[in-house]
């Protein structure tokens, strides 16, 4: 019973941590205090924290199965090798999504400055690459695809709003769209994802 409850808590922990992180970034952004040192530490801390959650999920799943002599224990040693079912399951269900999210976060971190150069440094603020990397960890893969789409849509909408208010010369802060897209995907992702067939971008496809 305790392991099952703990497993449920672990299911919700990444979401709570992600929401807390994005709220923290938003408050810092509103105050104009998104220091690079703080943003870097936040991204690395969240990546490490999520790695611990993945490790705990794998361990808890193992012990839940081991405690079920009627079925679960039959999937584990000594009845069969841990490599026959448990390890492939853990990779597909827990490790793969985290590793891809981590890779996407790293890729976004390095690509954002390169894209910014194409726009003469006027597209992204210095902290934006950290926000994109943070979002990749928070929304996960393949929801990050929706995050990019949401960021583009919000950017267009904010641009239209600012143009109507201040004229054609108005400029928007792209950081706002990058921040707001994360909670938007967290809220609507589970509803929208099935219609976008994003499951085809996973290892289960």
Which of 10, 45, 8, 7 has the alpha carbon at shortest distance from 25? Answer: 45
Which of 79, 75, 100, 101 has the alpha carbon at shortest distance from 88? Answer: 75
Residue 41 banded pLDDT, cuts 50, 70, 90: very high
Q: What is the pLDDT of residue 68?
A: 81
pLDDT, average across residues 86-106: 91
Alpha carbons 187 and 69: distance in angstroms, whole number: 38
Question: How is residue 103 annotated by DSSP?
Answer: H
Peptide bond before residue 26 is cis, with ω within 30 degrees of 0: no
Q: Rounding to the nearest 10 degrees, give the CA dihedral for residues 124, 125, 126, 129.
A: -50
Check residues 36 and 200 and name the one with the higher pLDDT: 36
Among 55-69, 83-97, 104-118, which stretch is predicted with the lowest mean pLDDT? 104-118
Total structural domains within the chain:
1
204, pLDDT greater than 60: no
Q: What is the pLDDT of residue 205?
A: 42
Cα–chain-centroid distance for residue 22? 11
Contact 147, 182 (CB under 8 A): yes
130, pLDDT greater than 70: yes
Q: What is the pLDDT of residue 60?
A: 94
User: Three-class SS of residue 82?
Assistant: coil
Contact 43, 133 (CB under 8 A): yes
Alpha carbons 141 and 96: distance in angstroms, whole number: 9
Q: Residues 90-119, buried b or exposed e (16+ Cβ, 10 A)?
A: beeebbebbebbbebbeebbeebeeebeee
Alpha carbons 162 and 147: distance in angstroms, whole number: 22
Q: What is the pLDDT of residue 172?
A: 65
> What domain range is 126 assigned to?
2-201
Q: Highest mean pLDDT range out of 12-21, 107-116, 119-128?
A: 12-21
| pTM of the full structure | 0.87
Alpha carbons 182 and 19: distance in angstroms, whole number: 9
CB atoms within 10 A of CB 70: 6
Please state, rounded to an integer, the average pLDDT across all residues of the chain: 87
198, pLDDT greater than 90: no
89, pLDDT greater than 50: yes
Residue 185 banded pLDDT, cuts 50, 70, 90: very high
């Amino acid at each position: 019973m305790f392991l099952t409850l703990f497993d449920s808590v672990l299911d919700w922990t990444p979401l709570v941590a992600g929401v807390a992180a994005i709220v923290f970034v938003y408050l810092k952004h509103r105050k104009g205090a998104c220091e690079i040192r703080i943003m870097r530490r936040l991204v690395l801390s969240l990546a490490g924290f999520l790695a611990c959650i993945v490790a705990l999920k794998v361990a808890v799943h193992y012990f839940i199965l081991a405690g079920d002599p009627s079925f679960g224990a039959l999937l584990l040693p000594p009845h069969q090798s841990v490599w026959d079912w448990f390890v492939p399951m853990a990779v597909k269900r827990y490790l793969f999504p985290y590793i891809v999210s981590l890779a996407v976060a790293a890729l976004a971190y390095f690509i954002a400055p390169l894209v910014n150069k194409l726009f003469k440094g006027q597209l992204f603020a210095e902290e934006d690459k950290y926000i994109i990397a943070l979002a990749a960890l928070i929304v996960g893969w393949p929801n990050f695809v929706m995050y990019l789409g949401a960021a583009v849509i919000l950017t267009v909408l904010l641009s239209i709003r600012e143009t109507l208010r201040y004229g054609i010369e108005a400029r928007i802060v792209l950081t706002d769209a990058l921040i707001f897209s994360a909670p938007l995907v967290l809220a609507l992702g589970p509803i929208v994802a099935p219609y976008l067939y994003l499951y085809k971008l996973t290892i289960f496809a």
